[in-house]
Amino acid sequence: MIERFVGAVDALNEWTGRAVAWLTLGCVLTCFAVVVLRYAFDTGYPWMQELYVWQHAVVFMAGAGYTFLHRGHVNVDVLYGKLGARGKAWIDILGTLLFLFPWLAVVWFTSLPFVKASWRVFESSGNANGMPAMYLLKSMLLVFCVLMFLQGLSLIARRGLFLAGRPLNDQHEEPLTDAPI
């Protein structure tokens, strides 16, 4: 049961990360088009200027769970590298519970009124001819929290299985060796 949960969360963040990664190409192409239109044709579109910023924001917010899955976030590993496999597992569990989850709660509860207010009025850009549906972009704050929370639960479950002597041997398993990294 736990293994299926871990697999499902990992698959969700893997798929989401790979899907939103394509927005980086869209971001570059949109930015290129904005520059060419502005400097070659002396014209511009506010919605297009906002579009590449939105794409960039979606990549970071929706892709954060993918980055966490692949251990791509910055860690301050003063002790971690010196610990054995069980110590590393406990650091991962406690770090997620004591640092990640409370921070996600802060982001969730401070963003929720902001997102609700945006949905209530179907907010669009404050710029003339800007992007419509600003409420969708603001909702990415909550998507970020959900994807990161699920990946945090997955990490805790994965490390719990390791501590129980049932490590998952899959592509997302960080090798927890007793030798220092």
Per-residue confidence at 39, pLDDT binned at 50, 70, 90?
A: very high
pLDDT of residue 177: 52
Nearest to 142 by CA among 81, 70, 35, 62: 62
Q: What's the pTM value of the predicted model, to 2 decimals?
A: 0.87
Q: What is the largest CA-CA distance in the chain?
A: 65
Q: Residue 174 has what pLDDT?
A: 59
What confidence tens digit (pLDDT) does each residue in 43-80 have?
989 999 999 999 999 999 999 999 999 988 776 677 78
Percent of the chain with pLDDT over 70: 91
Q: Can you tell me the distance from the alpha carbon of 159 to that of 173, in angstroms, rounded to the nearest whole number?
A: 9
Please report the DSSP string for 64-86 in residue order: HHHHHHTT-S----TTGGGS-HH
